[in-house]
Structure 1
Amino acid sequence: MRFVKENNECCSASRGRISVPKPEKAEFPDSAKAVGGLHKERLIVVHGGEFEMGTDAPDGFPSDGEGPVRKVTVRSFRISPYAVTNAEFGAFVRETGYVTEAERFGWSYVFHLLVSPSTLQKVKNVPRQVPWWLVVEGAYWAKPEGPDSTIDERLDHPVVHISWNDANAYCEWSGTRLPTEAEWEYAARGGLAGKTYPWGDLLKPDGKHMCNIWQGKFPDKNNASDGYVGTAPVNAYEPNGYGLYNMSGNVWEWCADWFSPLYHQTTSTMNPYYNKPTGKRSMRGGSYLCHRSYCNRYRIAARSGNTPDSSTGNAGFRVVADME
């Protein structure tokens, strides 16, 4: 097994310069072909307004540019109540023949505890700084843990191994777009002001799990007390005040902006959008791998980024649309 130097955040991994033989056209599961795609009428209207964006809390990551807190105004928009599912992405692929970047590159990153023993034996490359990510040949959205895996029982789970470029292609097909960071955070707050999570400040109010994150000692023991080791259905747990599910945990969600720690210092307070290319696109919400001990980024104000061609087993997206 060869270790590959990796300089990105421990909660994600970038495609970088790893190269493996490209496969022939990837197999497409019949189970995903028969399910319809996203209907724009299902999007939830979020009325625009002013809110306090970002955080100055001590548990934040200043290097990510989570603050300073400032008042931001966003216009009204419509947003999906949940992340795009395997079924919905399957409909897109069925209609268009789209091939994801994970398929074109021939591999994607899979968390080490999720692969089968036979797949693990075939792994040749591992990022040195985030060795829990395995370079799995043949892993892509329809075979999320490698060639011997399937999404047959996960059609209502968020699609993963989706790059920013893949997500943008889906948006073009469905007549939607990716949310800006400001829109995403405004929606995630669900009408609450200054709270840590979409439901309040306590991670587990009255001991109740509210999101899908790591439970145990990362990265080797996940007791899954929240009900899931990997992804959860997109409508798992309670929605926030706007009726939106899983704005914390489950999968990272791509946003439209380029990622920069200077976001709050340089973007407008009116419909902010960071449009200067930085090599990374923004991601929000954290994932099922986030744990307070190393990646406390399932907080609303937390931010991260990755290269637009990168794909991992914990990265997906949800869509928005402008008001007509």
Structure 2
Amino acid sequence: MHEELFSESSHPPSNKSACPVCGEKIQGRWTECPNCRAVLPDVSALPSSSSLSPDEAIQSEEVLQPVLPATSDDEIRSDAKLTVQTLLVLAQKLQMQGDESAALEIYRQARELTDGMLAQLLDALVWKLEAAGREESTSTPVMLQGETPMAGADDLQSGKPAGANLPKVVDGQQKKRRISFAFLSFLFGVGLMLGLGLLNLGTRGFGPLAALATDTPTASLTPTSTRTPTATPPPSRTPPPTTTATPIPGTTSKRAQDGMDMAYIPAGEFQMGSERGDYDEMPIHRVYTDAFWIDVHEVTNEMFSLCVQAGKCPYQGSYFDSAKRNHPVTHVSWYDAQKYCQWVGGRLPTEAEWEKAARGGLMDSPFPWGNESPTCRERAKNGAQIYGCSGATVDVMSFAPNGYGLYDMAGNVWEWVADWYAADYYRSLTDDAHNPQGPSSGEGRVLRGGGWDSYNVRVSARFGFEPVVWVNSIGFRCSRSLP
């Protein structure tokens, strides 16, 4: 199909190029990036520059210039921009030729390369403004740390989450980079163009938007009834207020929006941290938390897709993979996780709440299941894939729960929590801290629980990560305070 556009001669010069997502140098065909594992269009499916006539090339530059403003290499890699631009040119050409089916596939490929970046960066801008008290955007620049590569091979042996080739977030130690509004304009323009292209095809019965299309109901006026005034009844005695019974440990409650079961965690004190772990887990300190509810397992792809369909969460095609609908959702930033929890009427758990829930009532045990060391088969009780084992996410609730009836508190995926990360935060706390909320600011948010790619699955292990990052080993669960 379209042999003049899909040809073997479309290899980049010297058969070398770079991943448009993370910048990793790639030798040969673009199928899957060895660094970030992003699935990229096969090079044979990308048009070469010679596939467009000189007039078409000039015309495409004029058409795309409003949505592809000039950006420096520090803001976006030129090869990523070129890839998106080339895909859009090809899609436009196919659509003008009347081949809407082929055009839709190319639009989808371009969307995969832009939707994630656009959503995360715009979310970061919104959250920065909200945190600053909704100040003017000119006084609140959006900041990112360093580069944003995803999963690397070294991460799988380090015990860090996939994508941890990013610097570990420690206050003041990373180089910051400002995202210009020109870059945001570029991403918004590309996203708008893709959205219009898909919407146009969707109205004709093609694409993912067509599946979500519904008839718009027409509002009607209901006549107001005329009532005859009646005598005011005498005041009645106000009944005494009723008290709500306190749940007991082991109680669960089903959430209406997504069908998630939530477990009740009683109020009380526990020992947080470890003297045998990393520096940021020390010292052990006593913490008191109020009672709260927390999700029995990690939010799944199927659950997250409901939020997408409701228009409250960003779209990613992987969320709708029916074969993995019961796997924990991944490729979600901290902002995405927070949006979802707000949609279901909850919030992300604090770091203290998460560790108390993970311990399951055990005081000194390093793992949710007790003291036994994790192994590939026997001690992968909570989904963890230990070094040397095959690595991938699994269905939630595949392994035994802890003492509070919670699944995957170690392994499967790392989990975002609410707190900012600081390596020395525990040293600033006194014993008997009451509902600690973490540092007031920072450069990264806390990850807990280890993932399928990690052997570091202690309940006290903590890690700091940029909140805009989304990779294939990070997910989340939600919590809710008692009324």
48, 58, 61: which one aligns with 2:278: 61
**Unmatched 5+ stretches in structure 1:** 101-139, 145-149, 218-222
43, 49, 59: which one aligns with 2:268: 49
Tell me the residue number matched to 2:11.
none
Q: What is the CA-CA distance between 1:32 and the residue it aligns to?
A: 11
Change (3 A) 1:166 1:241: same
- Is 1:261 equivalent to 2:423 in the alignment? yes
- Larger RCO (CA under 8 A, 6+ residues apart): 1
Provide the rounded CA distance (Å) in 1 between the counterparts of 2:347 and 2:356.
Answer: 16
Q: Report if the CA contact (8 A) 1:251-1:288 is conserved.
A: yes
Change (3 A) 1:277 1:191: same
1:227-249 Cα shifts (integer Å, max 9, x gaps): xx311111110000000000001
Provide the rounded CA distance (Å) in 2 between the counterparts of 1:155 and 1:28.
Answer: 17
Q: Report if the CA contact (8 A) 1:280-1:306 is conserved.
A: yes
SS of corresponding position for 2:470? coil
SS of corresponding position for 1:321? strand
TM-score (norm 1): 0.71
Matched letter for residue 258 of structure 2: L
- Residue correspondence of structure 1 range 1-324 to structure 2 within 5 A: 1=18, 2-3=23-24, 10-13=160-163, 24-25=194-195, 28=208, 37-39=257-259, 42-57=261-276, 60-62=277-279, 65-96=280-311, 98-99=313-314, 140=316, 142-143=317-318, 151-204=321-374, 207-217=378-388, 223-224=389-390, 229-267=391-429, 269-291=433-455, 296=456, 298-324=457-483
Provide the rounded CA distance (Å) in 2 between the counterparts of 1:165 and 1:253.
Answer: 13
Q: What is the CA-CA distance between 1:11 and the residue it aligns to?
A: 2.6
Provide the rounded CA distance (Å) in 2 between the counterparts of 1:6 and 1:260.
Answer: 20
SS of corresponding position for 2:336? helix
Percent pairwise identity: 33
Task: Give the paired residue count.
Answer: 258
Matched letter for residue 281 of structure 2: E
Provide the rounded CA distance (Å) in 1 between the counterparts of 2:421 and 2:444.
Answer: 5
Q: Report if the CA contact (8 A) 2:372-2:379 is conserved.
A: no
Q: Report if the CA contact (8 A) 1:32-1:91 is conserved.
A: no
Change (3 A) 1:290 1:204: closer
Tell me the residue number matched to 2:57.
none
Provide the rounded CA distance (Å) in 1 between the counterparts of 2:312 and 2:442.
Answer: 30
1:151-170 Cα shifts (integer Å, max 9, x gaps): 21111111100100001111
Matched letter for residue 265 of structure 2: V
TM-score (norm 2): 0.48
